[in-house]
């Protein structure tokens, strides 16, 4: 018997390529424009509902106290929307507090204050995320919020407008939808906000009436007549349709919130970007290249850079409204920091060469690239870098987080209300694992992704999470071990495997055929030792076959503990506009964050971080790395980030005639 068997190791499992829903209309600027108006609208909130006596155009005589001040780590500032009720902008600020700094659509609080409604909650569970670059295309599915609660922007908008941030309880969903639609239907355009956006009522704006200036004209797909009151009319639009339309328009707006890019999509606003441009270095991954691969290639290129061209202020640019007092520069210190940032275990030799060249003073392994790869400086996935544990242990003592009782998947499933966050299906759920820790309630903590993964009340993100589970759980790549022919069987063993997972043996006669066309010929059997065996019958005179190993599934029960305290990786661009840092909002400066990583990585190596990310242990830094890393991170500040760089920005209102 003659067999042409070629063994090939294929390790796949997450070729999930997520496409961002693009703003699909050429005239989307009008959508972005009214989207911004809706983003600023204060009347959708529950407070307005209870205090306006059903009058959509009421001027409130009492204001929601939460709006009086903007809470900041520098002390309270006068609230930009004082006298009104909640809107998106109150937590996603931009230029409202220039005196203390611009924001990349986040706020200055450790956790954002929410309206008081008597449920004991006074803030959001987490630090507000920045919206600039939040919706960029990515190589993984879209997940929103630190815990991935939302998988689509419009779901997030509807959930937010009808949720706790706007003062609504889970039982008030219908009331919220009806109220929001009522504001749109009955607005008369007399408000200050309407005046800033062309002066039309929402009904006129939604209808796309002739006479509206082009920059205010909404895309045809979003036009609707909200004034038809006869529910039997074919032109009647439901309350739900109106709120859905609001969500799409706000999405159009948020898609415009990006850091400065050239026409080819290269970032060009920071000293770091200027450095890449000046030295002819690639600014984004090649087609087919991952961000991680690109970042590693960049480090190689830096190592070969014999005569670096430095970026200096003001020749290359300068900081205007943002990062006042900072030099727009990229010099030796910033480069040393960049190299530490890009160095991981795979490219230590490059780092060694750099050291030999005298570029860096010592080898420091930032390993930052494994989660914050350029050019977006985030992998848009979830990791546990020890942030939740650090906050919890600070309150309850070292070792407390390690000892905290967390239910198994089965236990969690049988008692939703005791463990999981409140939703419309479970309005009385306590959400104890989505609550900031406090001295008096040691059972309360924020476990991030653990709340969402395999939670039946959050069906939308599950498919996406499933597709990235191998990355989230850092499952090792299986290796093909011994291959033997026993009688007429091919027997193949594999090592480096986890008994929690299923593996498949796949085969194809064409090495280049897409994965979907390969045939699964065997599912693994585990031997006692944790070794894996496949058996496949060989047929005489069959054509040459290629074999590969495919990672299969894991049960939710086995996977759940691996999601404990995972949070979404934020970008590290323009950190000057988003302090305080981490989902806990506990760290005020970049230096604080670097010290945090020095501590957390040492703790992780000692086995002291519960479910810590394996990459955390790969960070080797000491105090001497802090200054260059901080200089590099500051070189990611944007020179002039002020507001949506789009022609949809509202024009100054001419004075009344």
User: Token pair of 434, please?
Assistant: 């989505």
Q: Is the Cβ of residue 66 or residue 497 nearer to ligand HEC in the bound state?
A: 66
Q: Pick from 446, 531, 564, 34: which is nearest to 256 by CA?
A: 34
Q: Pick from 252, 214, 129: which is nearest to 585 by CA?
A: 129
User: Token pair of 214, please?
Assistant: 């082009």
Based on the shown chain and the rule CB under 6 A, indicate whether residue 611 belongs to the binding site for ligand HEC: no
Smallest distance from the beta carbon of 614 to ligand HEC, in angstroms?
8
Q: Which stretch binds ligand HEC (CB under 6 A): 17-25, 156-164, 514-522, 545-553?
A: 156-164
Q: Pick from 343, 582, 370, 596: which is nearest to 471 by CA?
A: 370
Which residues, including other chains, have CB under 8 Å from residue 173's CB and lie 6 or more apart?
A: 162, 424
Interface positions, 621-640, toward ligand HEC (CB under 6 A): 629
Q: Which stretch binds ligand HEC (CB under 6 A): 138-146, 272-280, 292-300, 517-525?
A: 138-146
Q: Is the Cβ of residue 378 or residue 508 nearer to ligand HEC in the bound state?
A: 378
Task: Return the residue of 91, 93, 243, 303 that touches ligand HEC, per CB under 6 A.
Answer: 91
Based on the shown chain and the rule CB under 6 A, indicate whether residue 37 belongs to the binding site for ligand HEC: no
Q: What is the largest CA-CA distance in the chain?
A: 96
Task: Return the residue of 23, 32, 67, 86 that touches ligand HEC, per CB under 6 A.
Answer: 86
Task: Return the residue of 23, 34, 40, 90 that touches ligand HEC, per CB under 6 A.
Answer: 90
Q: Which stretch binds ligand HEC (CB under 6 A): 198-206, 363-371, 399-407, 453-461?
A: 363-371
Based on the shown chain and the rule CB under 6 A, indicate whether residue 366 belongs to the binding site for ligand HEC: yes
State the Cα–Cα distance between residues 268 and 277, nearest whole angstrom.
8
**Please, is 415 exposed, middle or buried when counting C-beta atoms within 10 Å of its C-beta (0-12, 13-18, 19+)?**
exposed
Interface positions, 234-253, toward ligand HEC (CB under 6 A): 250
Task: Return the residue of 176, 226, 371, 473 that touches ligand HEC, per CB under 6 A.
Answer: 371
114 contacts 122 by C-beta, under 8 angstroms: yes
Q: Is the Cβ of residue 196 or residue 312 nearer to ligand HEC in the bound state?
A: 196
Which residues, including other chains, have CB under 8 Å from residue 470's CB and lie 6 or more apart?
A: 13, 14, 551
Smallest distance from the beta carbon of 170 to ligand HEC, in angstroms?
16
Task: Return the residue of 52, 112, 343, 617 that touches ligand HEC, per CB under 6 A.
Answer: 112
550 contacts 504 by C-beta, under 8 angstroms: yes
Task: Return the residue of 40, 93, 114, 460 that touches ligand HEC, per CB under 6 A.
Answer: 114
Neighbours of 261 (CB within 10 A): 18
State the Cα–Cα distance between residues 532 and 551, nearest whole angstrom.
12
Neighbours of 20 (CB within 10 A): 12
Interface positions, 569-608, toward ligand HEC (CB under 6 A): 569-570, 572, 575, 578, 581-583, 593, 597
Phi, psi at residue 35, to the nearest 5°? -60, -40
Where does this chain bind ligand HEC (CB under 6 A)? Answer: 86, 88, 90-92, 112, 114, 124-126, 128-129, 131, 134, 144-147, 156-157, 160-161, 165, 250, 254, 366-368, 370-372, 383, 385, 387, 567, 569-570, 572, 575, 578, 581-583, 593, 597, 613, 615-616, 619, 629
């Amino acid at each position: 018997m003659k067999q042409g068997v070629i063994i090939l190791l294929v390790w796949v499992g997450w070729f999930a390529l997520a496409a961002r829903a693009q703003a699909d209309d050429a005239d989307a600027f009008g959508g972005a424009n009214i989207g911004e108006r809706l983003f600023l609208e204060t009347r959708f909130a529950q407070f307005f509902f209870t205090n306006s006596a059903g009058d959509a155009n009421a001027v409130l005589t009492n204001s929601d106290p939460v709006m009086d001040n903007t809470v900041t780590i520098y002390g309270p500032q006068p609230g930009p929307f004082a006298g009104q009720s909640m809107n998106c902008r109150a937590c996603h600020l931009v230029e409202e507090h220039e005196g203390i700094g611009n924001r990349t659509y986040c706020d200055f609080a450790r956790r954002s204050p929410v309206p008081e409604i008597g449920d004991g909650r006074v803030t959001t569970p987490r630090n507000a995320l920045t919206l600039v670059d939040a919706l960029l295309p990515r190589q993984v599915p879209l997940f929103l919020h630190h815990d991935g609660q939302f998988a689509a922007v419009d779901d997030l908008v509807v959930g937010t407008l009808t949720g706790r941030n706007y003062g609504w309880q889970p039982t008030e969903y219908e009331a919220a939808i009806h109220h929001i639609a009522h504001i749109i239907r009955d607005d008369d355009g007399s408000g200050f906000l309407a005046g800033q956006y062309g002066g039309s009522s929402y009904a006129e704006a939604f209808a796309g009436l002739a006479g509206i200036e082009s920059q205010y004209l909404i895309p045809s797909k979003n036009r609707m007549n909200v004034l038809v009151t006869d529910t039997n009319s074919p032109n009647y639009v439901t309350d739900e349709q109106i709120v859905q339309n609001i969500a799409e328009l706000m999405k159009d707006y948020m898609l415009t919130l990006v850091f400065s890019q050239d026409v080819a999509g290269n970032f060009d606003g920071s000293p770091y970007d200027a450095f890449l441009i000046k030295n002819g270095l690639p600014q984004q991954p090649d087609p087919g290249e991952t961000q991680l691969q690109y970042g590693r290639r960049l480090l190689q290129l830096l190592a070969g850079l014999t005569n670096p061209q430095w970026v200096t202020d003001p020749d290359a640019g300068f900081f205007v409204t943002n990062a006042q007092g900072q030099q727009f520069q990229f010099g030796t210190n910033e480069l040393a920091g960049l190299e530490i940032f890009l160095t991981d275990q795979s490219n230590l030799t490059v780092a060694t060469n750099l050291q030999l060249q005298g570029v860096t003073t010592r080898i420091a392994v930032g390993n930052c690239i494994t989660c914050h790869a350029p050019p977006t400086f985030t992998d848009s996935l979830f990791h546990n870098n020890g942030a939740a544990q650090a906050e919890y242990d600070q309150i309850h003592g070292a070792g407390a987080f390690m000892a905290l009782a967390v239910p198994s998947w089965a236990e969690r499933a049988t008692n939703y209300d005791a463990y999981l966050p409140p939703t419309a299906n479970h309005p009385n759920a306590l959400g104890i694992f989505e609550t900031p820790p406090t001295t008096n309630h040691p059972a309360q903590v924020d476990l991030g992704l653990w709340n969402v993964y395999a939670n039946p009340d959050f069906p939308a993100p599950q498919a996406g999470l499933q597709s990235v589970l191998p990355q989230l759980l850092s499952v090792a790549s299986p290796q093909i071990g011994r291959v033997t022919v026993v009688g007429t069987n091919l027997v193949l063993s594999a090592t480096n495997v986890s008994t929690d997972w299923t593996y498949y043996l796949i085969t194809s006669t064409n090495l280049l055929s897409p994965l979907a066309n390969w045939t699964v010929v065997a599912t693994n059997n585990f031997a006692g030792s944790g070794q894996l065996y496949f058996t496949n019958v060989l047929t005489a005179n069959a054509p040459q076959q290629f074999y590969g190993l495919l990672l299969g599934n894991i049960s939710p029960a086995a996977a759940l503990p691996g999601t404990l305290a995972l949070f979404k990786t934020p970008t590290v661009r323009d950190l000057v506009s988003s302090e305080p840092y981490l989902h806990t909002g506990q760290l005020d400066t970049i230096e604080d964050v670097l010290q945090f990583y020095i501590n957390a990585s040492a703790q992780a190596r000692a086995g002291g971080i519960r479910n810590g990310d394996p990459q955390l242990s790969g960070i080797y830094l000491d105090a001497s790395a802090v200054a260059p890393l901080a200089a590099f991170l500051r070189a990611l500040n944007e020179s002039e980030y002020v507001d949506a760089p789009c022609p949809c920005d509202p024009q100054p209102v001419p004075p009344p005639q």
